[in-house]
């Protein structure tokens, strides 16, 4: 198949023994919800069709392309375990399955996972036979449930307004790897540029009764081909932490900000890491990773990157593709979105209402591109919504913690799922809880309680404003006008909360529609030619760049999505105007 997505799916922690399970699977709708009673996990229905994983059945690339409601679906494929894996444990990985997944191996339930936007894994070793292994996945995705994190996936069958076709089932890579019973489970990197240190936390796994005194961990850190750290320590427990100084004679200290050793969009320096777990001197596990030395902070009401004021020039990126919806057709497509954004002079993206494939963050790390991480929100508020969003958000932050490109977290956007937060103390408490929960998981990034308006406590004052250039110019003449203006008739702060000196950013604006092909649709305003699009972009962006108080922006948006035609690119990523002109405007403020 052309779209097997053969790249390694977990670029922050790479092992060599793995198999990609994408491709042709058996697939069946279960509209009667009879599969469990009829034991489809043991005897898959003969009337099944073929689907191309990892594309949801709603997409063209799946081979099915059915956008109608089917709340329960099943998948099946055989598992061929390489002979070389004999004696090792086999871990099955799912990049993302929307929304609830039951995973069966040889007719037995191996694991269950709820949450449509994050990765999960399970050890399937005990379920495997010598030959003829079978993997079955049952998925529930309630099409109209407004208490689950769904983001832009519409709860009606036909897309409309800012809502799009749903994604049901497997939509990121499925894969398996062979590991030893003693292994490195995960690592966590926390950079400290002020001291030139990298803190590494190691979570190790051992079989019951293992003598930990027999084990050592070897860590080798290199920078541009030069070894800067080579360390071995004896294992005393399953959790270990080491702090290494990576600034020594191999690193150019005198050129720290001009591309020396720190990570930034202008010089995306990365340190490579090799890990080995040794038992009595013999390697039993090995993995490779990387990290970037960068710091995000706020000082004297200024947003700082690596201890210097930094102006964020972001583009809103919803991560939809015409033939794959939430699933990019290829790794190259993810990379190309970043390249196109940089070509237009943007230094980052706000990933909007989507938890992106880790491959996108990998390319952002490699190419130098800021990322705001954001989860798909619920539509309504309630105990179920709180529980679902919170659980999934914890998984998001923990999964993506190591990516230096991610500088901000957005657990709630535009009061979605908290529509009464302006006055409702219960909903205000929820946004505060999400803010402080995120800060408890990650102290290295800025966090927004409610991006766009009706903030409770946020690290940045982020505002969404789709008004025209003159209104925007007037709104951001002073701090007082910025926090008192109510775009979309929404207060910037919820009742009982107010401005505390946070850096001010306009994190949605523009949305200028231009119909560049036969597509019909809408935008927040419209123009009739490529030249008019450039001039309209110039007018509203200049108004923001001229503001003495705004420290960054996020333009809506990089590309059209279904009926929303306010992208700088068409849905299939063709430029609507001269992109060099957009870059010229963005580059006005260095």
Residue range 228-255, pLDDT digits in tens: 999 999 999 999 999 999 986 555 555 5
**pLDDT score, position 517:** 79
Condensed to tens digits (0 to 9), the pLDDT of residues 149-208 reads 999 999 999 999 999 999 999 999 999 999 999 999 999 999 999 999 999 999 999 999
* Distance of alpha carbon 481 from the chain centroid: 33
**Can you name the residues that pair with 325 across neighbouring β-strands?**
321
Q: What is the mean pLDDT of residues 91-105?
A: 98
**pLDDT score, position 99:** 96
487 or 259, greater pLDDT: 487
Label each residue of 454-519 as H, E or C: CECCCCCEEEECCCCHHHHHHHCCCHHHHHHCCHHHCCCECCCCCCCCCCEEEEEEECEECCCCCC
Q: C-alpha distances in angstroms, 579 versus 91, 336, 346, 510, 568?
A: 45, 14, 11, 16, 8
Condensed to tens digits (0 to 9), the pLDDT of residues 459-473 reads 999 999 999 999 999
Q: How confident is the model at residue 4 (pLDDT cuts 50, 70, 90)?
A: low
Q: What is the mean pLDDT of residues 436-462?
A: 98
CA dist 562 and 321 (Å) reads 9
Condensed to tens digits (0 to 9), the pLDDT of residues 355-390 reads 999 999 999 999 999 999 999 999 999 999 999 999
Condensed to tens digits (0 to 9), the pLDDT of residues 329-363 reads 999 999 999 999 999 999 999 999 999 999 999 99
Q: Which two tokens stand for residue 269?
A: 């320096």
Q: What is the mean pLDDT of residues 320-326?
A: 97
Condensed to tens digits (0 to 9), the pLDDT of residues 275-303 reads 999 999 999 999 999 999 999 999 999 99
CA dist 154 and 536 (Å) reads 30
**pLDDT score, position 518:** 78
Cβ neighbours, 10 Å, residue 575: 17
**pLDDT score, position 259:** 66
Condensed to tens digits (0 to 9), the pLDDT of residues 540-568 reads 999 999 999 999 999 999 999 999 999 99
**pLDDT score, position 311:** 98
Condensed to tens digits (0 to 9), the pLDDT of residues 573-589 reads 999 999 999 999 999 87
Question: What's phi and psi for 143, nearest 5 deg?
Answer: -65, -30
Cα of first residue to Cα of last residue in the chain, in angstroms, is 44
Closest CA to 475 of 492, 458, 455, 499: 492
Using a pLDDT cut of 70, give the percent of the chain over it: 97
Q: How confident is the model at residue 260 (pLDDT cuts 50, 70, 90)?
A: confident
Whether pLDDT at 107 is above 90: yes
3-state secondary structure of 361: helix
Using a pLDDT cut of 90, give the percent of the chain over it: 94
**pLDDT score, position 3:** 55
**pLDDT score, position 2:** 46
Q: What is the CA radius of gyration of the chain?
A: 24
**pLDDT score, position 82:** 94
In order of start, what are the domains of the chain with their CATH numbers?
Answer: 18-178 (2.60.120.260), 183-291 (2.60.40.10), 296-586 (3.20.20.80)
Whether pLDDT at 257 is above 90: no
**pLDDT score, position 1:** 40
Q: Which two tokens stand for residue 151?
A: 């983001």
């Amino acid at each position: 198949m052309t779209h097997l997505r053969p790249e390694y799916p977990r670029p922050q922690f790479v092992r060599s023994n793995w198999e990609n399970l994408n491709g042709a699977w058996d697939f069946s709708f279960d509209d009667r919800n009879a599969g469990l009673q009829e034991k489809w996990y043991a005897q898959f229905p003969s009337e099944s069709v073929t689907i191309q994983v990892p594309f949801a059945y709603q997409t063209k690339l799946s081979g099915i392309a059915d956008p109608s409601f089917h709340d329960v679906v099943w998948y099946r494929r055989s598992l061929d375990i390489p002979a070389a894996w004999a004696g090792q444990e086999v871990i099955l990985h799912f990049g993302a399955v929307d929304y609830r997944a039951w995973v069966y191996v040889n007719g037995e339930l191996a694991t269950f996972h709820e949450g449509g936007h994050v990765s999960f894994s399970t050890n399937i070793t005990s379920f495997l036979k010598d030959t003829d292994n079978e993997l079955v996945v049952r998925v529930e995705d309630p099409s109209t449930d407004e208490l689950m994190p769904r983001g832009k996936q519409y709860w009606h069958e036909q897309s409309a307004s800012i809502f799009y076709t749903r994604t049901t089932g497997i939509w990121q890579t499925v894969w398996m790897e062979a590991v030893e019973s003693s292994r490195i489970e995960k690592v966590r990197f926390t950079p400290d540029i002020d001291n030139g240190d990298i803190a590494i936390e190691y979570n190790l796994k051992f079989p019951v009764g293992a003598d930990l005194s027999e084990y050592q961990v070897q860590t080798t850190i290199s920078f541009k081909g030069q070894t800067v750290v080579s360390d071995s320590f004896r294992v005393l427990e399953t959790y270990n932490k080491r702090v290494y100084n990576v600034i020594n004679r191999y690193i150019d200290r005198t050129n720290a900000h001009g591309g020396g050793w720190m990570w930034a969009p202008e010089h995306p320096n990365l340190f490579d890491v090799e890990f080995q777990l040794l038992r009595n001197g013999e390697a039993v596990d090995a993995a490779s990773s990387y990290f970037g030395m960068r710091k995000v902070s706020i000082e004297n009401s200024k947003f700082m990157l690596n201890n210097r004021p930094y102006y964020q020039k972001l583009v809103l990126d919803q991560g939809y593709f015409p033939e794959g919806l939430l699933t990019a057709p290829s790794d190259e497509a993810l990379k190309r979105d970043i390249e196109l954004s940089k070509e237009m002079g943007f230094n980052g993206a706000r990933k909007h209402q989507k938890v992106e494939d880790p491959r996108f963050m990998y390319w952002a790390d490699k190419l130098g591109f800021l990322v705001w991480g954001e989860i798909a929100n619920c539509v309504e508020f309630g105990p179920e919504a709180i529980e679902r969003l919170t659980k999934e958000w914890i998984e998001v932050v923990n999964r993506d913690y190591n990516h230096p490109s991610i500088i901000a977290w957005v657990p709630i956007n535009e009061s979605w799922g908290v529509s009464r937060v302006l006055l409702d103390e219960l909903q205000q408490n929820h946004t505060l809880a999400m803010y402080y929960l995120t800060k408890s998981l990650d102290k290295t990034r800025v966090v927004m309680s409610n991006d766009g308006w009706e903030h409770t406590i946020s690290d940045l004052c982020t505002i969404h404003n789709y008004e025209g250039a003159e209104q925007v110019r007037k709104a951001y003449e002073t701090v007082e006008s910025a926090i008192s203006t109510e775009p979309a008739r929404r207060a910037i702060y919820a009742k009982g909360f107010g401005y505390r000196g946070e850096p001010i950013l306009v994190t949605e604006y523009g949305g200028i529609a231009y119909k560049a092909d036969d597509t019909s649709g809408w935008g927040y305003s419209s123009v009739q030619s490529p030249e008019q699009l450039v001039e309209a972009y110039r007018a509203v962006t200049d108004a923001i760049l001229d503001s003495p108080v705004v420290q960054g922006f996020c333009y809506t948006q990089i590309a059209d999505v279904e009926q929303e035609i306010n992208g700088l690119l068409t849905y299939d990523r063709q430029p609507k105007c001269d992109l060099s002109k957009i870059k010229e405007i963005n580059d006005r403020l260095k």
